[in-house]
Amino acid sequence: MTWIEAIILAVVEGVTEFLPISSTGHMIITSALLGIKNETFTKVFEVCIQFGAILSVVVIYFQRFFKGFDFYLKLFCGFLPTAILGLMLKKQIDGLLESVEVVAVTLLLGGILLLFVDNIFAQNEEDGAEEVDYKTGFLIGIFQSISMVPGVSRSAATIVGGLTQKLTRKTAAEFSFFLAVPTMFAATAKSLYDEKDYLLDSVDKLPLLILGNIVAFVVAMFAIKFFIGYLTKHGFKLFGYYRIVLGSVLLILLAFGVDLQIF
C-alpha cells in the first residue's frame, strides 16, 4: 500500500462511516479498484483506521460521554447483540467481506428501502422520543448486527432500527454514532490482536496506520456535522438514490464480466 492509497482509503472511511451508504462496502469497492483488496495489510488497515473515525464522535459529543454510567449501560445493551453474533458468525462474515457482488446487491436493496423510510416514519418527527432506554438500545443493537453483511451499512441499520422504536431522526442518528464507539473499538482491537504477529513483523507500516487514522478522524468530523444537519432537514432519499445508482453500476459491470481489480 502506498501513501496515496492509504489517504484515499482513509478519506473513504471518514466520509462513509457515519453516512447510511456502507463504509465497509465502499472500502471493499475502493480497495478492489486500487488493486489491493487481497493484501493482508489492506484488511488490517481498513479495520484499524476506524479508530480515527470513532474518535471524532467522542470529540464532537465529548460532554455526552461524561453524562453518567447510565449512558454506557445503554451502549452496552446496543453493543451486546453484535458482539455475540459477531463471534458466532465470524467465518461467514469474513467470507462475505471478499465479495463485491454481495456489496452491490445490498447497496441496491438498502437504497430502495431508504426511499420509503421518511414517509414510513414521518410521524416520528412530530411526536417521536428523544431519549433511548435500555430496551430500545438492545433492539437497535439487533438491527446493528444485520450490518455485519457488507453493503448494508451500520449507520443505516441502526438509524432505521431507532426509527422503528419511535425515535426522531436526529436522536436515532446520534445514538447510532454513540453505538459506533464500542462496536468499532472492539472490531479494531480484535483485528489488532488477530494480526499481532503480522504487525510485529511489519513495524515499517506503522506510519501508514497513523496517517490513516488522522485522515479518517478529520474527514469524519466534517461528515458527522454534515449528516446531522442534512438528515434533520431533508431525510434519507438522497442517500437512497446514491446507493441505488452505485449498486446498479456495480451489478452491470459484474454482469459484463468486468474485473474490478484491473483498475
pTM: 0.88
pLDDT digit of tens for each residue in the chain (263 aa)?
899 999 999 999 999 999 999 888 888 889 888 888 878 888 888 888 988 999 999 999 998 888 888 999 999 999 999 888 877 766 666 666 667 788 889 999 999 999 999 999 999 988 888 899 999 999 999 999 998 888 888 999 999 999 999 999 999 999 999 999 998 888 888 877 887 777 777 788 889 999 999 999 999 999 999 999 999 889 999 999 999 999 999 899 888 877 765 43
Residues 89 and 112: their CA atoms lie apart, in Å, by 27
> CA-to-CA distance for 193 and 53, rounded, in angstroms?
20
Cβ contact 223:15 at 8 Å: yes
Q: Could you tell me where the DSSP H helices lie in 121-168?
A: 124-127, 134-146, 154-164
- Counting DSSP H helices and E strands in the chain, the numbers are 14, 0
